[in-house]
Amino acid sequence: MEETSLGADIDDWFIESLKIYTDLHVFELQEPTQVIEWTAEKSICVAGYSTTKSNEILQLLLPQKLFAKNNQGLCPERDFKVDHGGFSEDPVNCLKHISGTRCVVSSGAPGSKLQIWQIGEDDRDIIKLTGCIELKSSSNKRCKIASGAACILHGSELRDIQITELASGRVLYTMESESSDLVSSLQFVDANVFLVCTEGGDLCLHDVRVPSALQHSHVVEQGAAYWCMGLKSGPCLSDAASCRVARLSSSGQLVVSDLRDTRGPSCRAQLTIQHSAPCCDFMNVTWAPALDDHLAVSGFDGTVHIYDTTA
Amino acid sequence: MAYFTKQSALYTLLVRYKSIQEKTFLKVNIRHAPSKILFHTERESGTRGLPVVHHSKYVCDLPPDHRFPMGKFPRVLHFLIKDQVITDKQIWMPNLASEELLGCVHTKEYLDNFINGKIEEKEQRRTGFPWSEGLVRRCRYETGGTVLAVEIAWRRGLACSTAGGTHHAFPGYGAGFCLLNDLAVAAKHWTGTSTPRRKVLIVDLDVHQGDGTAFIFREDPDVFTFSVHCGNNFPVRKQQGDLDISMDVGVEDKEYLATVQTHLPGLLESFRPDLVLYDAGVDPHWRDELGKLRLTDQGLYQRDLYVIDAVVKRGIPVATVVGGGYSRDIDSLAIRHSIVHRAATQVWKQQGL
């Protein structure tokens, strides 16, 4: 009965979407994925997250149809095309592309090492495991990762956050913290500054050149179980318009803060979102790359909600 | 049977060999008394070509930028005439399908709500159409067109509508751009209530499963629903027809045609229909915006030619509808929809109908 109801909902959504959107492109992947990461202008990387079998890690080429403004009907290629592929024995819960390279880094099962993959080495169509990054300490929590210039920022708790150089495996930086607060998201702001959001919703802005200057800001909300963050991409600390971070709670609370001063939020809203699943693995908030002040929230009810933070 | 043979022969005699400016043709079916079947048709006399059913009111106004390609219906006829596939003498105009006729499939409550504009907003969203009187009118003419195509096919062996194929409509609600199930109404009406009932095979080659039709005839042994569709296309929630063939995404001409050729002859031999209703949807085409198969123009033509010829050469009448097709290039879409009429014309000539 539940499957029938879901099918009916999908059908209703499809017909409604045909009316609402100028273009509607519907694609199906062979296996479900928890990650989708741009690796080039026209390619993405996805991977499975099964804990009971091997998972494919695939680089897919976007169909021509998505790039054709007019005459989309003339594009013969309408589906994603597998360009490179490989297998991971571990589930892939986080995947990041290293900019300027053909490398991606993945993290999976709690306590497992980070895996470094090379896409298409020696011009072959294989995604090959080429190395691992040992974690500072074994943890029963999943390690979160973020990519920097030829390095990876990673950690599962505040006290085990590190920056590791990709090529040599050398640890470039270790965060000095005793806190066991769990990491929900982390991201480089620039080459020397990174931002961490804990599962409890706290933000930590850290400059590797001045470790003692750590900024810590708390979010107060009762009953919220889990928080994640989205950093407006390409921020420059001197450009007020780009210095913003959005934090999202599993209860639908959204907090937008100025990166120059994370202590007080710029704005706050309670989103009206249906919660259909207790799992927060898919919860996500991201800023629109081209639309100023717009962000997307997903992971609650199977849909993506787009908000204008100035409204 | 002898009555119908005689009646058919008499009709043929009157039409073919006597110059008649016919305004109405009243036919009383004694076998189905006290029911009467009345068809009011307007048709030029003397035509011997493929009957094509069309009405200018197959269209209605829609909001600007609405995705449904309403403009395709008159364009289908336009291209058939422009390319001299048919002449206007071959055109038959249906009447509006009556509530009584529609009531053989649709519930009274639904018809009352639909005709009188009492469909709730949520239901309207499910159909993809905002309600209007024009919408009701065009759906009823479209259904009338399919019913007329069946009647003509029974008389002449083959007939084609320039619309039809609204197979997602259920008895109590519409869905997926379908508000009245024309195939079901035509089949239900034509099979009638006599004993033995006439049998209809519905061959639905639209890329979307004919879920409404499958549901309506799920327990009717005299109507067989055969659908070849893409499993990954709408609807996700599929019904169980009598024979459903689910194709994978990206299937091309050769495999598709082989699939149809594998199943159709056996169905014709085993089910032995008295008439075939053929939904020749063009949304399996690679340029269709919604369909996920990759048929070409030639593939569609070969498909339609095969189906129509396979049925006609067995002496079984066939009525065709255009089915689904989605593209913002209305003219290309209309030309694609006219493929079935071109194939039917070819069979008409080859079989000497």
Residue ranges of domains in chain B: 9-351
Per the domain annotation, does A216 fall within a domain?
no
User: Looking at the domain B9-351, which fold is it?
Assistant: Arginase; Chain A (3.40.800)
Per the domain annotation, does A53 fall within a domain?
yes
> Which chain A residue has its CA at the smallest distance from B124's CA?
A16
Per the domain annotation, does A202 fall within a domain?
no
Residue B42, pLDDT above cutoff 60: no
Per the domain annotation, does A263 fall within a domain?
no
Contact across the interface for A11 and B176, Cβ inside 8 Å: yes
Are the C-beta atoms of residues B168 and B212 closer than 8 Å to each other? yes
Q: Which residues of B touch A22 (CB under 8 A)?
A: 65
Measured between CB atoms, which of B176, B287, B329 is closest to A15? B176
Per the domain annotation, does A113 fall within a domain?
yes
Measured between CB atoms, which of A10, A22, A74 is closest to B236? A10
Q: How many angstroms separate the CA of residue A2 from the nearest CA in chain B? A: 11
Mean pLDDT of chain B: 88
The pLDDT assigned to A69 comes to: 65
The pLDDT assigned to B188 comes to: 96
What does the alpha-carbon distance between residue B8 and residue B19 come to, in Å, rounded to a whole number?
17
Residue A277, pLDDT above cutoff 60: no
Measured between CB atoms, which of B232, B236, B290 is closest to A7? B236
Contact across the interface for B67 and A79, Cβ inside 8 Å: no
If you ran DSSP here, which 8-state letter would residue A157 be given? B
Measured between CB atoms, which of A4, A73, A78 is closest to B237? A4
B112 close to A (CB below 8 A):
no
Measured between CB atoms, which of B67, B232, B286 is closest to A18? B67
Nearest to A221 by CA among A257, A251, A179, A264: A251
Contact across the interface for A73 and B289, Cβ inside 8 Å: yes
Measured between CB atoms, which of A11, A74, A79 is closest to B235? A11
What does the alpha-carbon distance between residue B32 and residue B30 come to, in Å, rounded to a whole number?
5
**pLDDT-above-90 percentage for chain A:** 40
Q: Which domain holds residue A96?
A: 30-69+76-140
What does the alpha-carbon distance between residue B70 and residue B161 come to, in Å, rounded to a whole number?
15
Per-residue pLDDT tens digits for B138-183? 999 999 999 999 999 999 999 999 999 999 999 999 999 999 999 9
The pLDDT assigned to B202 comes to: 98
Contact across the interface for A79 and B236, Cβ inside 8 Å: no
A20 close to B (CB below 8 A):
no
Secondary element (H or E) of residue A2: helix A2-20
pTM check: above 0.90 = no
**pLDDT-above-70 percentage for chain A:** 86
Per the domain annotation, does A127 fall within a domain?
yes
Q: How many angstroms separate the CA of residue A76 from the nearest CA in chain B? A: 7
Contact across the interface for A15 and B329, Cβ inside 8 Å: no
Contact across the interface for B128 and A12, Cβ inside 8 Å: no
A79 close to B (CB below 8 A):
yes
Contact across the interface for A15 and B327, Cβ inside 8 Å: no
The pLDDT assigned to A75 comes to: 56
Measured between CB atoms, which of A11, A12, A79 is closest to B249? A79
Beta-bridge mates of residue A197: A185, A203
Contact across the interface for B128 and A18, Cβ inside 8 Å: yes
Q: What is the ipTM of this complex?
A: 0.77
Contact across the interface for B66 and A15, Cβ inside 8 Å: no
Per-residue pLDDT tens digits for B193-230? 767 889 999 999 999 999 999 999 999 999 999 999 99
Tell me how many domains chain A contains. Answer: 1
Q: Place B16 in a pLDDT band, splitting at 50, 70 and 90.
A: very low
Per-residue pLDDT tens digits for A133-182? 988 776 778 899 999 989 999 999 999 999 999 989 999 999 888 888 99
Cβ neighbors of B56 (< 8 A, separation 6 or more) are B74
The residue behind tokens 């928890």 is A34
Nearest to B201 by CA among B174, B175, B220: B220
Contact across the interface for B67 and A12, Cβ inside 8 Å: no
Which of B:289-328 have CB within 8 Å of A? 289-290, 292, 327-328
Per the domain annotation, does A55 fall within a domain?
yes
Per the domain annotation, does A308 fall within a domain?
no
What does the alpha-carbon distance between residue B199 and residue B221 come to, in Å, rounded to a whole number?
8
> Which chain B residue has its CA at the smallest distance from A7's CA?
B237
Substitution target in A12, A75, A77 with the highest count of B β-carbons within 10 Å is A12
What does the alpha-carbon distance between residue A140 and residue A146 come to, in Å, rounded to a whole number?
19
Q: Which residues of A touch B67 (CB under 8 A)?
A: 18-19
Q: How is chain B split among helix, strand and coil, in percent rounded to 5?
A: 40, 15, 45
- Amino acid found at B132: S
B255 close to A (CB below 8 A):
no
